Structure formats: structure tokens, C-alpha cells
Amino acid sequence: MKNLYFFIAVSLSVSALNACSKENEGSPNTGGGALDCSTVTNKSFVADINPVIQSSCATTTACHGSGSVNGPGALTSYQAVFNSRNSIRTAVSSGAMPQNSTLSNSQKNSILCWIESGASNN
């Protein structure tokens, strides 16, 4: 009988640890799986990424507009956004940014996949 209780306790412990694993965490739109960037088509800097950055991030000097010194500073040009891509990836994927609004899953996925695809000036 002791062996049965021991087996049940070990099984429950393993199940609990598996449930808490970060292995299945993913991007905002995947429900826990990895983001498949091959299915994200809107990842052009000019058409998709920059409009989101300008309307959600580079709005004022209090955020990342012209003259800003917050975080990576102003995000008003391709070069500034490109140089800040790692900070942007972290902030967007965690949901920490933008501070006073939210991005749709499509917008988040576009930004993340644009970065993962090399952050081209396209």
C-alpha cells in the first residue's frame, strides 16, 4: 500500500511540474505554441511595422516620439527602430508596451515576425 501512495504522489508531482513548464509558452497569438512566422504575411516595415510604431509608440516625447529619452529613445526612423529591435521584441511580446494602449495579436505578430525575419527596411 505504501508503494501505491508513493506512486500516486510521484505521478501528481510530475503532472504539476509539467503544467507549470514554460516550454509551451509562445507568442501572443498562439495560445501557448511557437509563433509560425511563415503564416504572417504583414511584416513589411513601410506598410505594416512603421505605421504601428508611429501610431502606438512614437506619439509623444513622453513615449518614443521625437526628442524622447525613454527606454531606447525616439523610434521615429527605420534605423532607430532597427537598433532597438531587441528591446521592442521583449516589450511587445511581454505586453509591457505600448504603455497606454494595446496592440492586436495581428500587430504583435507582425512586429515579432518582422524582427525574426531580419528586420528589413522593406
Inter-residue contact 88 to 81 (CB < 8 Å): yes
> Which segments of the chain are extended strands (E)?
none
Query: 0.85 exceeded by the pTM?
Result: no
The stretch 49-54 carries a mean pLDDT of: 95
**pLDDT tens, residue by residue, 7-30:** 444 443 433 333 332 233 344 443
**pLDDT tens, residue by residue, 86-95:** 999 999 999 9
State the Cα–Cα distance between residues 43 and 100, nearest whole angstrom. Answer: 23
